[in-house]
Amino acid sequence: MKIYLARPITGHAADEVIEYYQITANILRDIGYEVFHAMCAKTYLHGDLDVKAKGYDWFPLSTDHAIVKRDHWMTSQCDVLFVNLLNCKRVSIGTCFEMSWAHHMGKHIVLVMDKQNIHQHAFVLEAADVIYEDYNCALDYLNKLAKNQI
């Protein structure tokens, strides 16, 4: 089964974002998922202390067009979208787009988000199929889903 990982990137340190994706991807690969995420092949961003929402025209994988097209393609390839919106301080437009694409394509959307999150919005809540407040509980669900134990 294929899974796409989505979480806010803009405004975060690249190393923090890359580490999150590496750790989560490894957990999900061990479960049996084929994992896609927005930071695949983007280790060249190491050291960027504040990832921006646009303007990385100096590398082919990071042009605005390439980011949108590749993330849309990866979303279309997945069976499950795993969205982590825990502890967000500002709205993630990119993550909301990924949820919208996945919802439109009929993908299973698993969302982990705290109750006081800035993304508490009807569109986000209704697009998600399953909502957890705890990251580990969401991973447990994804493990059971991959093993048909639901």
Q: 145 with 80: CB under 8 angstroms?
A: yes
In order of start, what are the domains of the chain with their CATH numbers?
Answer: 2-146 (3.40.50.450)
pLDDT, tens digit (0-9, with 9 covering 90-100), for 99-143: 999 999 999 999 999 999 989 999 999 999 999 999 999 999 999
pLDDT score at 11: 73
Give the separation between CA 98 and CA 109, rounded to whole angstroms. Answer: 10
Taking phi first (over 0 means left), then psi (-120 to 50 degrees means alpha), and beta for anything else, what does residue 15 get?
alpha
Which amino acid is present at 26?
N
C-alpha of 16 from chain center? 14
Q: What is the pLDDT of residue 60?
A: 64
- pLDDT top residue among 56 and 110: 110
Q: Which residues pair with 36 in a beta bridge?
A: 4
pLDDT of 64 = 77
Rounded Cα distance between 142 and 82, Å, is 9
pTM, two decimal places: 0.88
* Residue 59 pLDDT level (bands cut at 50, 70, 90): low
Give 110's strand partners: 82, 130
* pLDDT over threshold 60, residue 46: no
Alpha carbon 128 to chain centroid distance?
13
pLDDT tens profile 9-21:
877 677 888 889 9
State what percent of residues in the chain have pLDDT above 90.
63
Decide: 17 and 39 in contact? Cβ < 8 Å.
yes
Residue corresponding to tokens 């969401």? 138
Q: How confident is the model at residue 48 (pLDDT cuts 50, 70, 90)?
A: very low
Residue 95 pLDDT exceeds 90: yes
